[in-house]
Structure 1
Amino acid sequence: MSQTGAQRLVDVLTELGVEVAFGLPGVHNLPIWDALALTGIRLIGVRHEQAAGYAADGYARTTGRLGVALVTTGPGAANTLGAVGEAMASASPVLVIATDIPSTLRRPGTVRGVLHETSDQQALFAPVTKAGFTVEHPDAIAPVLRRAARVALRPQSGPVYVGIPADFLRQDATDRDAFEPTEQLHVVAVEDIDRAREVLASAQRPLIWAGGGALRAGAGEAVGALAEQLAAPIITTFAARGIVPPDHPCRASNPVHTPEVGALWDEADVVLAVGTDFDGLMTQNWRMPQPPRLIAVNVDAADAAKNYPPDLLLQGDAREVVERLLAGMPMRPGINALSKRLDEIELRVRRRVRKEEPQAAEFLAALAETLPDGAVLVSDMCVAGYWVGGFYRFAAPRKLAYPMGWGTLGFGFPASLGVAAAGAGRAVCITGDGGFLYGVGELATAIQENLPVTVVIVDDGGYGMLRYDQTQAGLPHTGVDLATPDFVGLAKSFGVYADRVDGFGRAFRRLLREFTRADEPNVLVVSAELSPPLNTSPRWYRTSG
């Protein structure tokens, strides 16, 4: 029985285990929507293509599986670029499937003015994707999609673009898949493992730095066990929050941007870096000193060495390499002393937060006391989101989605739709009044799909972070104070229940507890102005390299 290209496409998505896709229909991609209606894949229609990209990213971060965004030709595809750039910077496996103009209307080397035509749609995505493919024949739809999915999910994961001429979706398509050998990860030599184990065992003050690659590889348990063997503190990047449980004796709960935690780095004589590239945000633009000895574990040798050159590189899967290091590692004394010191650091940092920004301390305490088990926090680029990303305690991995790869304002709300659709727990979006307005139309998506998301809008009347920057520089407030709507009335106009409180006190706690245990989407607006935490660049304590 013959199939159309659209039917082959959805068959491959089913074969790949895709359960949810996000998209926006257009004249060129409607056959995909028709074909998906006959499958078990849940298709969530968003109100803007960028939201499809963010939602697919949120889904991928929460589940570790492939996130899928379906968009139409030209401007529809281009609208996803900001979201795809964030997915690329954060190594999220997102598959963007976009239609292109019909092949019969394309004339090589000439832009003829066909509806939605661009000279090279795939090239638009080149700077913000891991790879890109354009289907050249209907029979190639299935093999190209399979290959694209493999590339997106293969470490280091990332977004991949697939373009399909619109006429191929209605034409007959067979499956001419070609054999592709499975790529094997680099296997670390026994002598390199032995050498690294020897260096770590002889260290006086070892430290483990765990990044997003460690989380994506599922290396948390191995990292935690190795830290206990070495009596080494564990510092995590934003991407690796929750990789070890809150009660782990070696976990440094607060960000390295606090002087108390930063001292652990400064004192270390050997650092084991697992799945990280030491980006500027985490290292205060590389003002942290190069450690005396650095051992890097990474699937990508160039990624591991581009910022802090390692003395020894162990190229391979993070979990496998750390497990091999752990085998035969002697137990180093000092775990009780380390645990006591980390508790003292925790106490000092908490006192600092209460002293410097008591509202933030109240906000974080309210979240800890009221959020239901399993809730996933999705932070936008806003001051409240920075506090969550840096100082909230996550009990498990993949419970934070935070746009600190590329830093895209407007990520929070649409990404929370993908988190909510994943079924991994209530999505709780922390956003500001400015960032929320980027995707406000997705309130229609949330209510139409009945997605379990609570949006907490911290309304300070503008771009609070930029306002802080201008104040610190002694400049007048220009462009940062915004006219904002009645968010409660706006949400209710979409049929979404909403309420407003002042500050993060008892009323906030009561409503947050109620809202996050509801079955439907809702919006909680908080009138409050927070000062930024130490993990934002204007407050970095390191001033020189």
Structure 2
Amino acid sequence: MAGRTGAQHLGDALKALGTEVVFGLPGVHNLPLWEALAETGIRIIGVRHEQTAGYAADGYARATGKLGVALVTTGPGAANTLGAVGEAMASAAPVLVIATDIPFTLKRPGVVRGVLHETSDQQAMFAPVTKAGFTVHRADQIGTTVHRAARLALMPQTGPVYLGIPTDYLRETTEASGPPKPLAERVLDLPDLARAADLLSQARRPLIWAGGGALRSEAGEAIGKLAERLAAPVITTFAARGLLPLDHPCLAPNPVHAPEVGELWDEADVVLAIGTDFDGLMTQNWLMPAPPKLIAVNVDAFDAAKNYKPDITLVGDARRVVESLRPASRAGLDELTVRLGSIGRRVRQRIRTEEPQAADFLSTLEEVLPEPAMLVTDMCVAGYWIGGFHRVRAPRKLAYPMGWGTLGYGFPASLGAAATGSGRVVCVTGDGGFLYAVGDLATLAEEQLPVTVVVVDDGGYGMLRYDQDQEGLPHRGVDWDSPDFVGLARSFGVHADRVSGFGRAFRRLLSEFIESDEPNVLVVRAKLKPPVNTSPRWPRKPR
């Protein structure tokens, strides 16, 4: 394909990569991209803030495992995505941020001349929150560089990649260049497989700890079979919720922060850690003791060993490695299943006793959510309850921003998840987080995305209010008079209603809203106490 503009080459490359939708905000520098993408048939969802473009691309990526694409303009437009890109990096979401840069012809090395939107080094802004960055230096490099950047974003461990394009290259006409040659598939060569299998065979109380890498590699079935073979409980991290079916006989109730579940870790003599780095949020800042023996499966040996030192490290794709493990079978599966059922009942009873509103909330979600629905939560108390205790039915049915912990993630990420066309998305957000992207109610209305937004309005930052109460401090900066969220949503043309608490009225309205074909907003006036998986309530304390 000859005689195409740089913008058209970018559109051609995204189309060749199978891109179906991009999220973006137009700016004076990137307008040619909007024209070029319209020619390709790729769906362009315009948003009201660049951070929303980043979060929506993240939500799309988590829902599908495919590349999420955010299209933004130069300087401040690019900079506005950084919080969202940081969350994608911490949660290993494959996102490609395509940002224009000032015209190459106006650049002068080492000098910031004052060109509109100019920065000294735009790519460098993204370095701490991306896997890598690319800046195109000739118009004929655009197509090839798009392929390279996308391939890197999707390569395990997945994550965000930045691509910068000087705006004058978008209109320049050049010859087409083909995609780079694909990388040769890595041959699995793990001499320690036999040692790992022997160690698991000798274990008296083995345990499997599965993280986001296990989910992203689609290792659930292999892990489930291995767990049954070993009669080993499987603890899943926040990023791995839904890895195993809810009725799997080895699935431990979540989260590990609950003392009843934490006992499984404490008594294990061999832990098989799959696709995890044992971050501080899951380990209560590493107050969980290191296991007597640890086998780590990870695509990155350094990542596998940075927090707990493995005795054996198996570097490779989680599914392929687990399928290659052949430990001896152990008895005790029936006893394990009975025990895990007992633990689950004790955890649910603890919630019912300590926070009955949370128990009502969780039971309603379990009852009314249809099978294909996806839950997207924000950094809010209700979201923490979901991240810790909601029973996720399948992989990629929960997006929870506990990688970087970015407030304001939930609503814009739900737009991206809904753009996949795979069914209703339910977003649970607090009043504070919702206000970060409330302008994108316009996007929700224009695109008629199948999203139900549940805004839990506790009149402020409920988690921070709890922190101040715990320290005996007065409330400062955490309380406010909430706006009329119902009226606000309706002003954008989005159906909305309100309810108090999580009782029968909430259950009825949420069920009606989820069954609707239209986007809607349900405002719930309620205050929840934080769950045990939030740091002020962690049961493990420094000695």
Asked if Structure 1 and Structure 2 have the same fold, meaning a TM-score greater than 0.5 normalized by the shorter chain, the answer is yes
2:54 match: 53
State the alpha-carbon separation in 2 of the partners of residues 416 and 181 from structure 1: 33
- CA shift, 1:201, in A, is 0.8
1:379 corresponds to which of 370, 377, 380: 377
- CA shift, 1:38, in A, is 1.5
Q: Which amino acid aligns with 1:534?
A: V
Q: Retained in 2: the 8 A contact 1:73–1:99?
A: yes
The equivalences for 1:16-95 within 5 A come to: 16-95=17-96
The equivalences for 1:105-120 within 5 A come to: 105-120=106-121
1:448 match: 446
2:333 match: 335
State the alpha-carbon separation in 2 of the partners of residues 123 and 469 from structure 1: 36
1:259 match: 259
- CA shift, 1:174, in A, is 2.2
Q: Percent identity?
A: 72
State the alpha-carbon separation in 1 of the partners of residues 514 and 313 from structure 2: 44
- CA shift, 1:178, in A, is 7.3
Q: Retained in 2: the 8 A contact 1:138–1:174?
A: no
State the alpha-carbon separation in 2 of the partners of residues 247 and 432 from structure 1: 31
- CA shift, 1:54, in A, is 0.0
Partner SS, residue 39 of structure 2: coil
Q: Which amino acid aligns with 1:46?
A: V
2:140 match: 139
Q: Give yes or no for the alignment of 1:463 onto 2:464.
A: no
Partner SS, residue 37 of structure 1: helix
Q: Give yes or no for the alignment of 1:488 onto 2:486.
A: yes
Partner SS, residue 183 of structure 2: coil
CA deviations 1:135-191 (Å, max 9, x no partner) are 0000000111110001000000000000000000000122345755615446332x4
State the alpha-carbon separation in 1 of the partners of residues 237 and 450 from structure 2: 28
2:346 match: 348
Q: Retained in 1: the 8 A contact 2:249–2:333?
A: yes
Q: Retained in 2: the 8 A contact 1:456–1:523?
A: yes
Unmatched tracts of structure 2, length 5 or more: none
Q: Give yes or no for the alignment of 1:474 onto 2:482.
A: no
2:427 corresponds to which of 426, 429, 436: 429
1:281 match: 281
- CA shift, 1:425, in A, is 2.2
Q: Which amino acid aligns with 1:335?
A: L
Q: Which amino acid aligns with 2:438?
A: V
Q: TM-score, normalised by structure 1?
A: 0.98
Matched residue count: 542
1:508 match: 506
Partner SS, residue 395 of structure 1: coil
2:155 match: 154
Q: Retained in 1: the 8 A contact 2:371–2:393?
A: no
State the alpha-carbon separation in 2 of the partners of residues 387 and 488 from structure 1: 24
1:389 match: 387
CA deviations 1:230-258 (Å, max 9, x no partner) are 00000000000000000000001210000
State the alpha-carbon separation in 2 of the partners of residues 331 and 424 from structure 1: 39
Q: Retained in 2: the 8 A contact 1:87–1:159?
A: yes
Q: Retained in 1: the 8 A contact 2:431–2:482?
A: yes
Q: Which amino acid aligns with 1:365?
A: S
Change (3 A) 1:186 1:209: farther
Q: Which amino acid aligns with 2:44?
A: L
Q: Give yes or no for the alignment of 1:195 onto 2:195.
A: yes
State the alpha-carbon separation in 2 of the partners of residues 268 and 375 from structure 1: 35
Partner SS, residue 273 of structure 1: strand
CA deviations 1:90-147 (Å, max 9, x no partner) are 0000000000001111111110100000010000000000000000000000111110
Change (3 A) 1:38 1:462: same
2:313 match: 313
Change (3 A) 1:483 1:188: farther
Q: Retained in 2: the 8 A contact 1:188–1:321?
A: no
The equivalences for 1:109-258 within 5 A come to: 109-177=110-178, 179-180=180-181, 182=183, 184-185=185-186, 187-189=188-190, 191-258=191-258
Q: Which amino acid aligns with 1:19?
A: E
Partner SS, residue 516 of structure 1: helix
Q: Retained in 2: the 8 A contact 1:254–1:261?
A: yes
Q: Retained in 1: the 8 A contact 2:4–2:176?
A: no
Unmatched tracts of structure 1, length 5 or more: none
2:407 match: 409
Partner SS, residue 389 of structure 1: helix
CA deviations 1:211-231 (Å, max 9, x no partner) are 000000000000000000000
Q: TM-score, normalised by structure 2?
A: 0.99
State the alpha-carbon separation in 2 of the partners of residues 175 and 196 from structure 1: 49
Q: Which amino acid aligns with 2:365?
A: L
State the alpha-carbon separation in 1 of the partners of residues 449 and 490 from structure 2: 16
Q: Retained in 2: the 8 A contact 1:186–1:316?
A: no
State the alpha-carbon separation in 2 of the partners of residues 360 and 435 from structure 1: 19
Partner SS, residue 208 of structure 2: strand
State the alpha-carbon separation in 2 of the partners of residues 253 and 142 from structure 1: 47
2:297 match: 297
- CA shift, 1:519, in A, is 1.2
- CA shift, 1:373, in A, is 1.6
State the alpha-carbon separation in 2 of the partners of residues 342 and 60 from structure 1: 32
State the alpha-carbon separation in 1 of the partners of residues 540 and 38 from structure 2: 55
State the alpha-carbon separation in 1 of the partners of residues 184 and 533 from structure 2: 38
State the alpha-carbon separation in 2 of the partners of residues 140 and 342 from structure 1: 56
Moved more, 477-486 or 56-65: 477-486
State the alpha-carbon separation in 2 of the partners of residues 147 and 304 from structure 1: 26
Q: Retained in 2: the 8 A contact 1:185–1:317?
A: no
CA deviations 1:311-340 (Å, max 9, x no partner) are 000000000000000xx4322100000000
Q: Retained in 2: the 8 A contact 1:277–1:304?
A: yes
State the alpha-carbon separation in 1 of the partners of residues 111 and 478 from structure 2: 43
RMSD of aligned alpha carbons: 1.0
Q: Retained in 2: the 8 A contact 1:284–1:542?
A: yes
Q: Which amino acid aligns with 1:434?
A: G
Change (3 A) 1:44 1:260: same
In the TM superposition, structure 1's runs of 4+ consecutive aligned residues that sit over 4 Å from their partners are: 177-181
Q: Retained in 1: the 8 A contact 2:431–2:455?
A: yes
State the alpha-carbon separation in 1 of the partners of residues 489 and 138 from structure 2: 45
Q: Which amino acid aligns with 1:432?
A: G
CA deviations 1:452-491 (Å, max 9, x no partner) are 0000000000000000000011100000002310000000
Partner SS, residue 151 of structure 2: helix
State the alpha-carbon separation in 1 of the partners of residues 328 and 312 from structure 2: 20
2:517 corresponds to which of 498, 519, 524: 519
State the alpha-carbon separation in 1 of the partners of residues 270 and 510 from structure 2: 43
Partner SS, residue 292 of structure 2: coil
Q: Which amino acid aligns with 2:504?
A: R
State the alpha-carbon separation in 2 of the partners of residues 186 and 441 from structure 1: 48
